[in-house]
């Protein structure tokens, strides 16, 4: 009997994870080995469980799906990551594939065949939602390339409205170090005010805000 494909589910909505788990557990070729409710949990679970495929929500707290994917793929480059998103804009697709994901599907598409997509990803193939386009070689570069991984993490927390002290506590850094990262990323992006930075980061798809839905636990 062929070994089942090990899958990790990462989404900050428990009902979404339960729905995906039921869908995947009906397929004998797939095995859900774990779940994660935010970006840091997804990174930790990926390292611990070594799944072949991660189904990752784009908009999650603390680290969004793109940043979590970047961290995971630095340590586990063979992992196939499939992004599920409410966002169809080119900038999100471009940033996701620039991070190294293998697939990008839309959550609200009725025709999504998640088991099939996971099998394609596990086989090393690329999956993309109908109507979306894979970025070309030049398009794959984005403003994310101007920032270090730590600066991206700090940016995510800034957009979520956290102070330097709060960010320092979450990342295990000193507030002074966070202030340096904040200054460096603003310089890299050519922005000098926090309010402008937040607007720019969201508009460019550098970070996402978690989706507010009534089923969040």
Residues 130-158 pLDDT 10s: 888 877 655 445 566 778 878 888 888 88
At residue 184, the pLDDT reads: 92
At residue 213, the pLDDT reads: 47
Which two tokens mark 105?
């599907």
**How large is the angle between the packed helices 114-122 and 14-25, nearest 10 degrees?**
80
CA distance 57 to 77: 19
At residue 28, the pLDDT reads: 93
CA distance 164 to 176: 8
Query: CB 78: neighbour CB atoms within 10 A?
Result: 8
Give the pairing of strands 80-85 and 5-10: unpaired
Return the bridge partners of 56, or none: 10, 83
Establish whether domains 5-128 and 143-203 are of one fold.
Answer: no
From first CA to last CA, the distance across the chain in angstroms is 38
Category of 6 on φ-ψ map: left (φ > 0), alpha (ψ -120 to 50) or beta: beta
Architecture of domain 143-203: Orthogonal Bundle (1.10)
At residue 8, the pLDDT reads: 98
CA distance 146 to 106: 27
At residue 132, the pLDDT reads: 86
Phi/psi of residue 43, each to 5°? -65, -45
At residue 60, the pLDDT reads: 87
At residue 44, the pLDDT reads: 96
At residue 216, the pLDDT reads: 42
CATH number belonging to domain 5-128: 3.40.50.2300
Q: How far, in Å, are 16, 103, 126, 141, 195 from residue 81 at the CA level? A: 17, 7, 10, 19, 32
At residue 108, the pLDDT reads: 79
Could you tell me which of 87, 80, 31, 90 has the C-alpha nearest to residue 55? 80
CA distance 87 to 104: 10
Helix (H) or strand (E) holding 185, with range, is: helix 175-189
Domain boundaries, the chain: 5-128, 143-203
Low-confidence ranges of the chain (pLDDT < 50): 139-140, 213-217
At residue 174, the pLDDT reads: 93
The distance of Cα 204 from the centroid of its chain, to the nearest Å, equals 15
């Amino acid at each position: 009997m062929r070994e089942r494909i090990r899958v990790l589910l990462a989404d900050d909505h428990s009902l979404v994870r339960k729905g995906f788990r039921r869908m995947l557990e009906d397929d004998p070729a797939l095995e859900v080995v774990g779940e994660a409710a935010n970006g840091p949990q997804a990174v930790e679970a990926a390292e611990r469980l070594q799944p072949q495929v991660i189904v990752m929500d784009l908009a999650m707290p603390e680290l969004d799906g793109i940043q979590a994917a970047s961290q995971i793929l630095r340590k586990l480059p063979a992992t196939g990551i499939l992004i599920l998103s409410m966002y169809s804009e080119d900038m999100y697709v471009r940033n996701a594939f620039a991070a190294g994901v293998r697939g990008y599907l839309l959550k609200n598409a009725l025709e999504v065949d998640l088991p099939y997509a996971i099998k394609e990803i596990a086989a090393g193939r690329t999956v993309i939602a109908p109507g979306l386009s894979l970025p070309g070689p030049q398009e794959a570069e984005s403003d994310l390339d101007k920032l270090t991984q730590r600066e991206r993490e700090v940016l995510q927390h800034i957009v979520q409205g956290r102070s330097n002290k709060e960010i320092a506590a979450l990342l295990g850094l000193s507030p002074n170090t966070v202030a340096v990262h904040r200054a460096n990323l603003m310089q890299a992006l050519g922005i000098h005010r926090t309010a402008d930075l937040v607007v720019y980061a969201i508009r460019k798809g550098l970070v996402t805000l978690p989706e507010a839905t009534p089923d969040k636990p």
